[in-house]
Amino acid sequence: GAGVSQSPSNKVTEKGKDVELRCDPISGHTALYWYRQRLGQGLEFLIYFQGNSAPDKSGLPSDRFSAERTGESVSTLTIQRTQQEDSAVYLCASSPAFVAGYTFGSGTRLTVV
């Protein structure tokens, strides 16, 4: 597509429920990144995918967070047993390679009540 697409744009969920966030990268972009941005804060790295290589999961904050990507296409970020501190905007970016500029999606605003 023309840009990075994220869905849903907004998600309100009850504490303890699982949520799944989706990211469609730009076609042909081999690298895909997930970041978290809490209100008024900077961006925290979560996970990185590059082609068929093993992902860099070192930024995932707990074992309740997981992410998958099939080849060089769609990625999903799953948060299990959501907590109030998970409330944030989750941003996805893609790039042609690691050493190239990123294009960000519009994000998913997650609110845990």
Partner 1 sequence: GIQVEQSPPDLILQEGANSTLRCNFSDSVNNLQWFHQNPWGQLINLFYIPSGTKQNGRLSATTVATERYSLLYISSSQTTDSGVYFCAVGNTGGFKTIFGAGTRLFVKA
CA distance 51 to 66: 18
**Judged by CB, which is closer to partner 1: 80, or 106?**
106
Q: Which of 34, 48, 65, 90 binds partner 1 (CB under 8 A)?
A: 48
Q: How many CA atoms lie within 13 A of 49 on its CB side?
A: 25
Strand, coil or helix: 22: strand
By CB under 8 A, which span of 10-18, 21-29, 35-43, 70-78 interacts with partner 1? Answer: 35-43
By CB under 8 A, which span of 11-19, 56-64, 66-74, 75-83 interacts with partner 1? Answer: 56-64
